[in-house]
Amino acid sequence: MASSGRQRAFSSAAGLIQYYDMEETRALKINPYLVILLGIGAAIFVEVLNWKFS
C-alpha cells in the first residue's frame, strides 16, 4: 500500500493512543483554581443539605 504523502503521528498501544504536536485551540479552557473552588463549594453545599435534612 503506497503512502499518499501524509505524515502520521506517533502511535502507541496498538494505535489506541496517538500523540500530536498540535494543541487543540477550540477546546474549553477552565482555570484549575475554579475547578477546585467549585469542588469545595459543592462539598460544602452537600454537607449543609445533609445537616439540614438529617
What's the pLDDT at 3? 54
Task: Name the DSSP class of 19.
Answer: E
Does 19 map to a domain? no
Does 14 map to a domain? no
- Give the pLDDT confidence of 1-54 residue by residue, as tens digits: 555 555 655 555 555 666 666 666 787 889 999 999 999 999 999 999 999 998
Its pTM stands at: 0.52
Half-sphere exposure (CA, 13 Å, Cβ side) for 10? Answer: 4
Per the structure, the count of domains in the chain is 1
Does 49 map to a domain? yes
Does 34 map to a domain? yes
Q: Please count the other Cβ atoms lying within 10 Å of the Cβ belonging to residue 2.
A: 4
Does 53 map to a domain? yes
Half-sphere exposure (CA, 13 Å, Cβ side) for 31? Answer: 4
Does 17 map to a domain? no
Determine the structural domain holding residue 40 and report its residue range: 28-54
Does 7 map to a domain? no
Does 8 map to a domain? no
